[in-house]
Structure 1
Amino acid sequence: MTARSNPAHITVLGDGGRTVHTSLGEVTNDALVIATGGRFIKRLPGIEHAITPCEGITAAERIRDRLREMQGGTIAVGFAGNPNEPTAVRGGPMFEFLFGIDEQLRREGRRERFEIVFFNPSTEPGNRLGPKAVKHLLGEMARRGIRTHLGYKLKRFDTDKVVTEGGEFAADLILFMPGMTGNAWFDTTGLPRSPGGLLQADAQCRIPGTERVYVVGDSGSFPGPDWMPKQAHMADLQAAAAAENLLADLQGKPSSATFKVELICIVDAVDHGTLIWRTPERNWLLPSTRLFHWAKRGFEWNYLRQYR
């Protein structure tokens, strides 16, 4: 097996996955794990007028700078999904941006100069978090004076507005998380795909019809409940199963490890957070407290410590 640390772009898979063709040359392997993340669906007209927060530090800095420059106006925050893949959506971070911006503006004494609007094609945004979570999130929006525009398919973004099939509203800043699909280079692989364009996976994180080719995280479409999250915690659980099966396969041993389906997140709002936990057996929501904010910061510190 060969390994390289230089960043490169994947172009093609060859030899049933044993050769990875990249922009820096070929990499051969005895086993392959694909964990390259998903790709946001950016087909909505005018999508260039919106900022997608999870695209990286640059996007976050753009949001920071725009908020500093604005003296008032309307801030629109929303997300949408992949119509062919219900699980290929990442809405949780948008609730954090929504409540976090509201809280920050209050701290700065500027909240009354802004209108904040949350928009979503569903009438129950965040329903994968569970019914209690949807009720809580909508209640928190009402408590904070955040207006909602729900249940209408998006048509387009303009420089100064959001347009849906149910009407339009002014927006001086648009934060929007599109649904996800597979990476463009997947099209060159011949690997089996899900209806939403992700790589098809079985319960052991293998890609059917291949030998020692695995997928974890946002790149894959996995068997399980329709609320299975696209989040780092879920990817960690899938990665552990894939690693165990990969090593067993290389050693010629039985390999049947599966992953636990679990959604756990703390929706943080600057100095307090709400804990949401969902498994096939239970769905808990613990109201917002400062304890959960500090618990999230502690988890982040401990999680990153292993990579420092």
Structure 2
Amino acid sequence: MKKVVVLGGGIAGAEAAIALRKEGFQVKLVSDRDSLFVYPISIWIPTGEKSPEDVQIPLKNIADAHGFEVEIDKVVSISGKEFYYETEKKGKQTDFDYMVIALGQTKLKHKGIENTLSVCGSPKEIIEIKNRLENLINQGSGKIAFGFGGNPKAPEAVRGGPVFEVMFNIHNHLKKLGVRDKFEITFFAPMPKPGARLGEKALKMMDMMFKNMNIKKITGKKIKEFTPSSVILEDDSIIEADLIVFTPAGDGHPVIKNSDLPQTETGFLKIEDTCQVKGFENIYAIGDSASIEGPDWRAKQGHLAEVMARATAHNIAIKEGLKTGKPEGYKEHINIMCLMDTGNGGALAYRSDKKAMLVPMPIVGHLMKKAWGVYYKLYKLGKIPRLI
């Protein structure tokens, strides 16, 4: 039985391990975290609808359910030519036939970034957002700034959706508490039209939502610096804030940047449509670790990461003669699909080459996203089959 090692225990890595095991491979997943953190439903931690435990699935439980091995260790280096990976605890490892890289990405480092908290950062950061918000509520008033950054060299590595979701949820949370009028909420982003990848109609609808929620919007100005109490923009204008919730754009993982594998100038791995790393027969890359090629509006999302994971397992199985058929590619599956939660409802965002839309879903949208969270955990634990 061929051995496959999956480096990374996030959304892409966990799905790859499950899919590879189903194809009949001996699979080991290596992760520096002992749980899969389900970021799409962590948006409710700041408002107290979910606890940190609610949005984490122990990797051991996933491994036991699907029959693969999990090893909690930190990957510190990778070599393509020598075909090994190295970890903090066990050193160099070579006992495998295929390597699937799903290490994710890091974030661009803005000046003063330590004065911000990200909804796409570590679980500790999201918990800290909750604690800081509670302190402001107890204080009786406050100013909160929400924003996300861009990466011109890798436009697909922007994380805007979760920022919008947490901002809208906090707005409605404050409204329910009857203190929304005591808080000033500002949204900021360096690009002129944040969210433009969803299309012009979506932008108009978002502007309407901002107006209805009394959220100030400042866009088209690059970020100069963050201080403990403000965001300083390129023209030296200042956004005062007691809490800054900011998600930088993605940057390549340091292990990948220091490897001999082909990568973009930002440190994302260059891959074929089949997810095989270019020039390396037995190495694949999926999710945020990979450079995604496609239309200008493309984005790295969880559902695409899982498509890449399953395609990789399928393609390795064909290569090993375990199944017949054509190799699968990720490019045909590129689209933007997100159920954007607002706390009191939601909106279905979708973008493809043929269509761009943002469909309001009052009340039911919130319930649907909650239901998806339940489904996702049950599927990962092997209690129900994959539905989508």
TM-score normalised by L of structure 2: 0.76
The aligned residue for residue 54 of structure 1 is 120
Match of 2:132 among 66, 74, 77: 66
Partner residue, 2:379: 306
State yes or no: 1:140 paired with 2:212. Answer: no
Structure 1 residues 255 and 33: CA distance shift in structure 2, 3 A: farther
Q: In the alignment, what sits opposite 1:273?
A: 346
Q: 1:17 touches 1:213 (CA, 8 Å); kept in 2?
A: no
Q: CA offsets per residue over residues 199-235 of structure 1, 9 Å max, x none?
A: 1112111110111211111111122112222111111
Q: Structure 1 residues 208 and 271, CA, compared in 2 at 3 Å: closer, same or farther?
A: same
User: Which residue of the partner structure matches residue 45 of structure 1?
Assistant: 111
Matched, 1:19 2:84: yes
Conserved 8 A contact 1:205-1:216: yes
How many residue pairs match? The answer is 307
Q: Which residue does 2:306 correspond to in 1?
A: 236
| Counterpart check, 1:247 vs 2:247 | no
Which residue does the alignment assign to 1:181?
Answer: 251
Provide the C-alpha distance between the structure 1 equivalents of 2:360 and 2:310, rounded to a whole number of angstroms: 31
Unpaired segments of 5 or more residues in structure 2? 5-27, 29-68, 382-388
Check 1:218–1:279 CA distance in 2 against 1; reply closer, same or farther (3 A cut). Answer: same
8 Å CA contact 1:261, 1:280 repeated in 2: no
Task: Kindly provide the CA deviation profile for residues 179-200 of structure 1, in whole angstroms up to 9, marking residues without a partner as x.
Answer: 1011111123211111322111
In the superposition, the TM-score normalised over structure 1's length comes to: 0.95
Residue type of the alignment partner of 1:294:
L
User: Which residue, out of 88, 99, 108, partners 2:177?
Assistant: 108
**Aligned counterpart, 1:91:** 160
Compute the displacement of 1:283 (Å).
Answer: 1.6
Once superposed, what is the RMSD of the aligned Cα atoms?
1.7
Q: In 2, Cα distance between the equivalents of 1:83 and 1:248?
A: 37
- Corresponding letter in the other structure for 1:126: G
In structure 2, relative to structure 1, the CA distance for the partners of 1:87 and 1:208 (3 Å cut) is: same
Indicate if the aligned counterparts of 2:81 and 2:260 stay in contact, CA closer than 8 A: no
What is the deviation of 1:24?
2.2
Q: Distance in 2 between matches of 1:80 and 1:101?
A: 20
What one-letter code is carried by the residue in structure 2 that aligns with 1:29?
A: F
Question: Structure 2 vs 1, CA of residues 53 and 238 (structure 1 numbering), >3 Å: closer, same or farther?
Answer: same
Separation of aligned partners in 2, 1:110 and 1:263: 34
- Distance in 2 separating the partners of 1:156 and 1:256: 47
Q: Which runs of 5+ in 1 are unaligned?
A: none
Indicate conservation of the 8 Å contact 1:18/1:31, yes or no.
no
Counterpart of 1:280, as a letter, is D
1:88·1:180 contact (CA, 8 Å) conserved in 2? yes
Q: Give CA deviations for 1:51-107 in whole Å, capped at 9, x if unaligned.
A: 011113211211111111112121000001112111111110000011111110000
Q: Percent identity?
A: 32
CA distance in 1, matches of 2:262, 2:223: 30
Q: CA deviation at 1:14?
A: 3.2
Corresponding residue for residue 264 of structure 1: 337
Contact kept, 8 Å, 2:80 with 2:261, in 1: the verdict is: no
Q: Report the counterpart of residue 9 of structure 1 in structure 2.
A: 74
Distance 1:299 1:17 in 2: 42
What is the identity, as a one-letter code, of the residue corresponding to 1:32? M
- In 2, the alpha carbon distance for the partners of 1:87 and 1:255 equals 27
